[in-house]
Structure 1
Amino acid sequence: MRAGLAARSPWAAFVLALLVAPLLAWAQAFEPLTIVTQSGQRHAFQVEVARTDADRAQGLMYRRSMAADRGMLFDFARVEPVAMWMQNTYIPLDMLFIRPDGTIARIAENTEPLSTRTIESGEPVLGVLELVGGSARRLGIRPGDRVEHSMFRQR
């Protein structure tokens, strides 16, 4: 009977754990989110959730691409007016500003990559969802549509 690599060498097990742990953390970093349009269409996404100041500050900076069914959800943990920008962000994004009940308050479409211009929510919101630029138009997503995610209390 053969013993596994980890059983033969504690160092091999340690190195294997160092290599696999980040992959597992990355795989678990996505959460399901659905946007329900007023016409009843449902659009499913897998999103990273930025819950800390550091994660919110980093956002999607320095990324060169993002799959059409992915996104980043910014959880501000309190309801307040927010402002975003695109500094060091290389891909155009749609920014969906979301109220605490999950309804979309405002959409900033195809924001300009690398811009330092601020993009304001226009009213107090709990979160912002960033999707690949053009997604809102392509999928028919509009203000008043509903975002389903555990962060929002549903009506």
Structure 2
Amino acid sequence: MIYVKTGRLARTLAAWAALTAACLSGTAQAQPAPQRLQAIALNAGMHAIRAEVAITPEQRQMGLMYRRDLAPHEGMLFVFEAPSPQCFWMKNTPTPLTIAFLADDGTIVNLADMKPFDESSHCSAKPVRFVLEMNQGWFAKRGIQAGAKISGAPFQGGTR
């Protein structure tokens, strides 16, 4: 038979419960790691872009969520199967972004600035297959507007 004074047992159980709760709450609040995808080279005139490519529905859904370290020349290119209206939001995304909705030939249809963690929708002005996210202000700092072209392998050959 084990004998433990009631006060000591209560303190031990309370400490164990507090430690367990702290461990569980830390696990529950841990944020997922940002995804890192294969990248391709794109250009906006003389400006080089290193764009990770999100092709699958899962990759597109995760996008740049949780990403805090997007370099100035880096972005993410979202590729869809067919042109359709595309809408994006910033759920779980701490980095301010500018989104460019792109026609099949790489022409920028429209641009939108997006605020961190904002769940407002930002949509394409017409159906598109490609969407490029860059650090907020990247396009503006380079004088790149709607009507400009992004070049690279995905846009060679025009419409698909």
Above 0.5 in TM-score? Answer: yes
Q: Does the C-alpha gap of structure 1 residues 55 and 92 become closer, same or farther in structure 2, counting only changes over 3 Å? A: same
Q: Does the C-alpha gap of structure 1 residues 55 and 28 become closer, same or farther in structure 2, counting only changes over 3 Å? A: closer
For the Cα contact (< 8 Å) 2:110–2:125, is it kept in 1?
yes
Aligned to 1:128: 131
Aligned to 2:71: 67
For the Cα contact (< 8 Å) 1:148–1:154, is it kept in 2?
no
Aligned to 1:114: 117
For the Cα contact (< 8 Å) 1:102–1:154, is it kept in 2?
no
Structure 2: distance between partners of 1:150 and 1:59: 20
**Is the radius of gyration larger for structure 1 or structure 2?**
2
Aligned to 2:154: 151
For the Cα contact (< 8 Å) 2:37–2:52, is it kept in 1?
no
Contiguous gaps of at least 5 residues in structure 1: 1-25, 37-41
3-state SS of the aligned residue for 2:51?
Answer: strand
Q: Does 1:77 align with 2:86?
A: no
The letter of the residue matching 1:52 is T
Q: Does 1:33 align with 2:33?
A: no
Aligned length: 124
Structure 2: distance between partners of 1:120 and 1:50: 18
Aligned to 1:91: 95
Query: RMSD in angstroms over aligned alpha carbons?
Result: 1.7
The letter of the residue matching 1:113 is P
Q: How does 1:100-111 map to 2 (within 5 A)?
A: 100-109=104-113, 111=114
Q: Which runs of 4+ in 1 moved over 3 A?
A: none
The letter of the residue matching 1:33 is L
Distance apart, 1:153 and its partner CA: 3.4
Which whole-Å deviations, capped at 9, do the CAs of 1:120-146 have from their partners, x for residues lacking one?
A: 101011111000011011111111111
Distance apart, 1:154 and its partner CA: 4.8
Contiguous gaps of at least 5 residues in structure 2: 1-34
Structure 1: distance between partners of 2:37 and 2:78: 17
Distance apart, 1:50 and its partner CA: 0.2
For the Cα contact (< 8 Å) 2:79–2:130, is it kept in 1?
yes
Structure 1: distance between partners of 2:123 and 2:36: 32
